[in-house]
Amino acid sequence: MKHRILFLVLLLMGFGALGFRYLSVERIMMEMDSQSLHRGKRADVKASLYYQAFDGRLVTRYTQPVEQVMITNNKGELAIFNEKDHTVYRTQSLEYSSENNLIYFFLQGKTSDLGLQQMGFQLMDTRFEDGMVVTRWFPPSGMYHLFSQIELVHENYLPIFTGYYDTDKKLVKKVYYTDYRQFPEITLPMTITEFNYLPAGDSIVNRLKFSQVQINQRAVSSWFNFSIPHDAKIIE
């Protein structure tokens, strides 16, 4: 169960989502399709996402490969409901917060650093290359063991690439933000592609694609108010 939770949360980190006062986004719903490739094997995940700003509540309804509903909020309270078994798993950690993801920073208008300053990173330098702005960020002390630096690339004021370098200054993760779409309230990347390079020399490729985005008055669904049944069996 814990490994499954980590997998689902990592997908949402890619979806990376949401707090909307700055851009007057009160609620948003969308479809998410994820593909993961590793050693020639492909895993597909499909889900519908429903987020409302006033309580930071994010409901994710997974339909593939399993049918589950995951609910989290800005406090990091997380619950996963399996309708077939009528069971629920609950836990809490800040890493599960609905605000710890990328789209959250897009919707907050924090596209200049994608929340790096909020996480304690410090700007090292800025340079300009072929019409693009490249910035390098130094990690906080609590992340020294993970990264030596993070590089952001912007084009037309929108982030298009993030590079993560390990303590040996080796590029270990690349993220591309593409297929931008402009909505009345916000501009969002509809595709996020991530390359994770493993110590053994192989890699894991994750691709998130979003569709059917509806915002504010156009976002209408009973799933925004979904509650886990009180008689669901609690599992460890």
Cis bond before residue 229 (omega within 30° of 0): no
The tokens of 47 are what? 């889900």
pTM: 0.83
The pLDDT value recorded for residue 103 is 62
Cα distance between residue 185 and residue 149, in whole Å? 32
- Domain containing 125 — which CATH number? 2.50.20.10
| DSSP letters spanning 28-48 | EEEEEEEEEEETTEEEEEEEE
Among 10, 81, 1, which Cα is nearest to 43's?
A: 10
Secondary structure class of 151 (helix, strand, coil): strand
Among 22, 35, 87, which Cα is nearest to 192's?
A: 35
Q: 172-188 pLDDT, tens per residue?
A: 999 999 999 999 888 89
Q: What is the number of structural domains in the chain?
A: 1
Q: Give me the residues of the chain with pLDDT under 70, please.
A: 1-23, 98, 100-104, 107-108
Q: 75-107 pLDDT, tens per residue?
A: 889 999 998 999 999 999 877 776 766 666 776
Range of the domain at 228: 2-234
Q: Is the dihedral of CA 198, 200, 201, 203 positive or negative?
A: negative
Q: Cβ distance 101 to 12 under 8 Å?
A: yes
| Centroid of chain to Cα 5 | 14
